[in-house]
Amino acid sequence: MPVTGQPVTRAPVPVANKPENYREKIINRSKALEDTETPKLRRRLVKSVGLLLVLMYFSMGYFMWDWPIGSLEKLGTDGIVLIQMILATVILYINRAFFVNGFKGALRLSPNMDTLVAMGAGVSYLWSVWHLYLMFTNKAEGPQGIQNIYFESAAMIVTLITVGKMLEAFSKGKTTNALKELIDLVPETATVERDDEELIVGTDYIRPGEVVIIKPGEKIPVDGEIIEGHAAVDEAALTGESLPVDKGVGDSVSAATINKSGYIRIKTKSIGEDTMLAKIIDLVSDAAATKAPISRTADKIAGIFVPVVIGIAILVFAIWMISGQDASYALTRAIAVLVISCPCALGLATPVAIMVSTGVGARNGILFKTAASIEETGRVEIVALDKTGTITGGEPAVTDVYTCRGVSKDELLIIAAALEARSDHPIAKAVSSYCRNTTLRIADFKEVAGNGVKAFITEGSTAVKIIGGNAAFLIKNEIDKTELERIQKETEEFSYAGKTSVFFAKGGQLLGVIAVADSIRPDSRAAISELKAMGIHTVMLTGDKQSTAEAIASETGVDEVIAEVMPDEKEEVIRGLMENGKTAMVGDGINDAPALTRADVGIAIGAGTDVAVESADVVLVNSNITDVVKAIKLGRKTLKNIYENLFWAFFYNILLIPLAAGAFTSLFGGWNISPMWAAGAMSISSFCVCMNALRINLIKF
């Protein structure tokens, strides 16, 4: 039932001046991730295989194993071979993309993988057509002419390589399915509050600043902040966190997450392209569209490799002809070299691994903006971490409470709560949130900026002065200086640790000290420890004084501290660190943006400022520093996987090109491989590369 008591409108409400379509915006941003190739290749493959089976029945079933063909036997050898040509022609037409792309590359003097496939299948087909012509015009060819017919090999080559192409497309599509499913998590309608009435409107009509009501089990349609209620929110789709996260007033929620339990009202902050969901889709799409440096190296190698292979094939043909073999045998060996050398596995080695890695990162709240950023992250040797907001939470919190002799902790906390509740200073808020609630009434409250607060409380018929602030402020308010200095000495470890001491007094007598400091994130120690275990040098950057920085460093275990750094000096510090190794900068603030941009890899805490996020190469959606470790592990795993893929791609060619050329014929009693089996071997190599890349999905953080 509506909270307002007004009836809920059960149909989307038409609104003038409709804003940008929310769902359409997200869907448009996901189009770059759409797997349109796999369905096309699947249809192509099904047609090719169906026709190929019929072709193989005639070529091998009938001619080699005497399988029956019924009345078609009356057509004779020439007629049955003509049927083979027709079937092969249709199969080659279905897979004409190989020939179009291959010959375009050859005409531009930059032959590619498709060039080798087109040459291998094309030469097999044309050779067979020529001998079919001879069979029709020169009966002397007779049944012996069958040995020169390779229609089934031409058809088999393009069919098997289409299998490899489909595996490539499937592997890429598989990594983006989880992201595309996010779109379905955005509901088509939502309940909003307008003019003290609850209305169900289309998601497209929600406006920034509007209050949206989310009930248990409903999907959250926008990014916003909870203003009423508590809920357990399932954020697995965005952050990879398997357990629902408890959210209350003041906490942020994101579109595409689900309210598992509890009733909440949220104030809309972001819609459309500004939501976290849209940004994730955008970043992953951009990463998919870029190439890693190592991929460009592989492309250069492939650009040299293809013409070299064409040259080897021509040389193989010439050698066998010179050695006395007939043209049919020499051509078979040359075609086998062309087909088995097709560097599809080489071309797949990097992009498939990058696509899988991007998907794994996105599912775990780690967004790589480009393919290059994945590779660079895997090479990181130094990690520089901003202190405030990265290693620490960025907000002060009470760390210690010290009471004077004869004063109970409760008495100190009650006075502190009464005083600090009236102040908006961050330290006052930290003290107030730590102290227990109090009903103590105060009068004549006064705040002196940069010093402290004071007020009066009534005890019986007497007005008693209470004070809170720094030591100098208390001395000005007639607190005994000797006593104050004694307490300062007893609590001097607070200042050594970089903590701020707030002194409290009542009726001219000191009550005690409450120490406040920027609290260290719960995961900072573990993250820094893991980074060091991975052999990474850790550095903390801060504008704080040296003593404060060293205190934080001793608690977290960072290797090096660079303190008292002005915002405009951070970029210069990063520049110096980069001279010693591949450097990543982790930060969250506007003042971190230049350093994030300068570093080899800029890593932004997701909850940080928009400027920091825009300046970074990697964004940690969960705002957890432990995700820095995950990002580097994922980068290293991806690099290792790419190297494995490249090794097997080259090893495969080194091993099988001599076999295809017939180099082992005399050594091992006729070891060689036909063009048909060469195409199968090439597809198996592509399959192995794709499967190896998919192993990145198994990484455990």
Angle CA 169–171–176, to nearest 5 = 95
Which of 386, 518, 588, 627 is flagged as catalytic?
Answer: 386
Cβ atoms of 435 and 426 within 8 Å: the answer is: no
Radius of gyration of the chain (CA): 36
Question: Measuring CA to CA, which residue among 448, 118, 451, 475 is closest to residue 306?
Answer: 118
Q: Which of 151, 144, 64, 163 is nearest to 335 (CA)?
A: 151
d(CA 425, CA 443): 19
Least Cα distance to 153 among 184, 127, 189, 183 occurs for: 127
C-alpha closest to that of 79 among 152, 154, 132, 134: 132
Among 416, 452, 451, residue whose Cα is nearest residue 434: 416
Q: Which pair of tokens denotes residue 77? A: 């050898």
Specify whether 386 is catalytic.
Answer: yes
Q: Which two tokens stand for residue 302?
A: 């492939």
Are the C-beta atoms of residues 501 and 474 closer than 8 Å to each other? no
Rounded CA gap, 615 and 249, in Å?
Answer: 30
Task: Tokens 């017939």: give the residue.
Answer: 662
Task: Report the alpha-carbon distance of residue 169 to residue 337 in Å, rounded.
Answer: 25
Give the amino acid at 542. Answer: T
**Greatest CA separation for the chain:** 132
Distances (CA, A) of 602 to 293, 382, 547: 17, 12, 27
**CA 215, CA 236: separation in Å to the nearest integer?**
19
The tokens describing 241, both together, are 């966190």
Residues paired with 224 in a beta bridge: 253, 268
DSSP 8-state class, residue 240: -
Site of tokens 């080194």: 654
Strand 258-261: give its sheet, edge to edge: 245-247, 231-234, 258-261
CA pseudo-torsion sign 375, 378, 379, 382 = positive
- E strands, 425-544, in order: 443-448, 452-459, 462-469, 500-506, 509-520, 537-541
CA atoms within 13 A on the CB side of 37: 16
Which of 234, 225, 232 is CA-nearest to residue 265?
A: 225
Separation CA 126–CA 52 (nearest Å): 18
For 133, how many CA atoms within 13 A lie in the half-sphere containing its CB?
6
State the catalytic residues: 386
